[in-house]
Structure 1
Amino acid sequence: MSADTGTAAEHDGTPASGIDDVTLGRIETEVALLMRLGEATRRRTPTAEHRLLDRAAYVILRQLDAAGPQNVSALAEVLNLDGSTVTRQVSAMQRDGLIVREPDPSDGRGTMIAPTPAGLCRMAAVRAARIRLYDDVLADWTTVDRRDLAQALHRLNQALDAHTRNR
């Protein structure tokens, strides 16, 4: 951290208590650019795997792979989305053979959403392609820099999720 932008709180590991408008402005700009460039990179990368799934289907399949079958309400809650949005996406994914609906064993009236082998295969292909892309993009970064970025992004995602849930 350069001396002109750092604060005493930043150096001792405690959260900054004051608002640093310059730093917050840089964060806002960098996050906006990250989102735009992430999508542009996905569209422009010649590797077909990047386009096997849209962003929403990828996130839903990652969640189902990590946590197992879930109902739409649980998916909406964990992904911080509106239930109707998840319902529409799940319907499209079912038409594409990426997920199946199964009876909910704890509630005969409900359904659980589960990934199909084809859905998991596509998700794995997209994930592998993304990992290769980031390995290429970050080729000149040290292992420590990569770990620091992963940790900072994880903390940012946790803070954004907590902020959204507390609203």
Structure 2
Amino acid sequence: MSDDHESTLGHIETEVALLMRFGEATRRATGTDEHRVLDRAAYVILRHLDSAGPQNVSALAARLNLDGSTVTRQVSALQRDGLIVRAPDPTDGRGTVISPTPAGLQRMAAVQAARTRLYGDMLADWSAEDRASLATLLGRLNHALVNRNRHR
């Protein structure tokens, strides 16, 4: 690898590490209740269920690149809080699928709206093209991370 290539990769590594750190700090420091009605795991699970439809725990764990037991614990907490429901799996009568409840979708939408406003404020002086480029590149990065973790 050339020095420029390694330097660029080192810069990317540093920026991703900072993004994760600052993103978490921003989430914790945001004082509005809207950001705090769901923890990060619950939010991600509900977002996925909203977009992908009912899922069994193993499919959910695979999609989120988590251990099944971790997802089972998180799903149990969501069910206890009335944010998801379990139903018989229509493709496998022995299993169950998980779906968000109206209350779960309402909380998820509140967090999503609050986060969208936050990013809108932070990126207000960026051009529409820069915001679109950032969205595209972050999507590509997440896709690459998912593919890497699937092939390990």
* TM-score using structure 1 length: 0.87
Residue 97 of structure 2 aligns to a residue in which SS? strand
CA distance in 1, matches of 2:116, 2:55: 26
Tell me the residue number matched to 2:111. Answer: 126
Q: What is the percent sequence identity of the aligned residues? A: 74
Tell me the residue number matched to 2:42. Answer: 57
1:76 Cα offset (Å) = 0.8
CA distance in 1, matches of 2:33, 2:19: 21
Bigger radius of gyration among the two: 1
CA distance in 2, matches of 1:64, 1:130: 19
1:129-162 Cα offsets, whole Å, 9 max, x none, are: 0000000000110001101100110111111111
Structure 1 unaligned spans of 5+ = 1-16
Partner of residue 83 from structure 1, selected from 68, 89, 104: 68
Whose helix fraction is larger, Structure 1's or Structure 2's?
2
Matches within 5 A, 1:1-167: 20-167=5-152
1:124 Cα offset (Å) = 0.3
Give structure 1 regions of 4+ aligned residues with deviation exceeding 4 angstroms: none
1:88-142 Cα offsets, whole Å, 9 max, x none, are: 1000111111101111122221111010000000000000000000000001100
Q: How many residues of Structure 1 are paired with residues of Structure 2 in the alignment?
A: 151
**Higher relative contact order (Cα pairs below 8 Å, separated by 6+ residues):** 2
